[in-house]
Copies of this chain bind each other. A is one copy, B any other.
């Protein structure tokens, strides 16, 4: 080896010490110190009996917050986008007709997933900021009796709009369609009842109302969805996301089959966040998000700042508001970040530069954060 030249670093690396921020954007939200501390516990093997016990508890905790008894309820070892892809990669077969509702960025991403899996996307469009129209969905299903799946976003992170998941699932089932639901931003922050609403496949993220670190994606599939997976005519293109294999790893009772190496420490964090939600109580968590939303809303409205989404369809954990006329979006967000260490979110797509997205998610949904945010905005906007 000695005779060969070693490429060297151009600049000496130093440990990274992040600034201490208050995270009130669309996610990640502030991670509670209990969860950060859980992440730092010593790594153990992913086949260690102690780890396997923790996996079982994690599944139970996820079933609780999803409000489901689905046996296949588990965290995918990758971010929310991979949770989305797990649903589409397993459920959409080439040629499948899928009705997909687009009222923001994540509906568009769903469509992209459908097309890449070889499915045919029938798009139901609503304005950004509106909830998905149940009437339009019904019409699309009438016009496409051969559709097999209805896909929609429960909580649109790009706009803060909430759709009626229960009603949409009911319509889908009347037309013999299974449902794929994006609950990345709603899980644990607002009412969500997978079994009662008869959601067939659902995915979420950990970095929003669970206040855990980004990087894994809880999913849940019921028997109706699993039957479609098991009866596929073509194999799932993704080996990594193939539920037929992943189930062997996360399945209960039987000896676990090695599939991939689980993100051990990240799962410690998720487990701790589930412990914390179980201590608070799921309904109390929903109620806290609602109460804090109302307080923020009063303060913003008193400043003459208006919401994008109608009150009835508004997500309490993600407040999308119009930037007051004449105000420089980027300058305000930079001042919040640099002078107050406060992060709020920018608008996306057509709303870039026009709205702010103020998150009150998980541990970030606290009275002191509301006060900080309102006061800082008042100071800056004068």
Interface residues of A, Cβ cutoff 8 Å to B? 1, 4, 6-21, 23, 25, 27-28, 30-31, 34, 36-46, 48-51, 54, 57, 60-61, 63-64, 67-69, 77-82, 84-85, 89, 109, 112-113, 116-117, 191, 193, 195-196, 205, 207, 213-215, 235-240, 258-266, 268-269, 271-272, 274-275, 278, 282-283, 286, 337, 343, 348
What are 14 sample pairs from A and B whose C-beta atoms fall under 8 A apart?
A9-B278, A13-B60, A15-B38, A20-B42, A23-B43, A43-B214, A78-B78, A81-B239, A85-B239, A89-B238, A116-B237, A215-B263, A215-B266, A263-B263
Task: State A36–B261 Cα separation when bound (angstroms).
Answer: 18
Whether the pair A43, B30 counts as a contact (CB closer than 8 A) is yes
Whether the pair A1, B286 counts as a contact (CB closer than 8 A) is yes
Task: State A264–B23 Cα separation when bound (angstroms).
Answer: 13
A239 touching B112 in the complex, CB below 8 Å, given contacts A15-B272, A64-B9, A278-B13? yes
Name A13's contact: one of B4, B40, B57 (CB within 8 Å): B57
Residues of B within 8 A of A271 (CB): 13, 15-16
Count of identical protomers in the assembly: 2
Task: State A48–B16 Cα separation when bound (angstroms).
Answer: 14
Name A79's contact: one of B36, B79, B263, B269 (CB within 8 Å): B263
Residues of B within 8 A of A268 (CB): 16, 18
A235 touching B275 in the complex, CB below 8 Å, given contacts A46-B28, A191-B1? no
Q: Chain B nearest CB: distance from A235 CB in Å? A: 6
Residues of B within 8 A of A23 (CB): 43-45
A18 touching B237 in the complex, CB below 8 Å, given contacts A13-B57, A13-B60, A41-B36? no
Whether the pair B1, A48 counts as a contact (CB closer than 8 A) is no
Chain B: CB-nearest residue to A260: B81
Name A78's contact: one of B20, B195, B240 (CB within 8 Å): B240
Residues of B within 8 A of A20 (CB): 42
Residues of B within 8 A of A193 (CB): 4
Q: Chain B nearest CB: distance from A113 CB in Å? A: 6
Task: State A89–B240 Cα separation when bound (angstroms).
Answer: 11
Whether the pair A260, B42 counts as a contact (CB closer than 8 A) is no
Task: State A356–B21 Cα separation when bound (angstroms).
Answer: 47
Residue in A8, A25, A39 whose Cβ sees the most chain B Cβ within 10 Å: A39
A214 touching B261 in the complex, CB below 8 Å, given contacts A109-B239, A236-B116? yes
Q: Chain B nearest CB: distance from A147 CB in Å? A: 21
Task: State A186–B146 Cα separation when bound (angstroms).
Answer: 50
Task: State A236–B112 Cα separation when bound (angstroms).
Answer: 11
Whether the pair A13, B275 counts as a contact (CB closer than 8 A) is yes
Whether the pair A266, B264 counts as a contact (CB closer than 8 A) is no
Whether the pair B13, A261 counts as a contact (CB closer than 8 A) is no
Chain B: CB-nearest residue to A37: B40
A215 touching B215 in the complex, CB below 8 Å, given contacts A13-B60, A23-B45, A45-B23? yes
Task: State A41–B21 Cα separation when bound (angstroms).
Answer: 11
Residue in A16, A17, A39, A63 whose Cβ sees the most chain B Cβ within 10 Å: A16
Residues of B within 8 A of A343 (CB): 44-45, 48
Name A7's contact: one of B113, B195, B348 (CB within 8 Å): B195
Task: State A64–B12 Cα separation when bound (angstroms).
Answer: 11
A54 touching B278 in the complex, CB below 8 Å, given contacts A45-B23, A64-B7? no
Name A81's contact: one of B36, B215, B240 (CB within 8 Å): B240
A11 touching B261 in the complex, CB below 8 Å, given contacts A39-B40, A48-B343, A82-B78? no
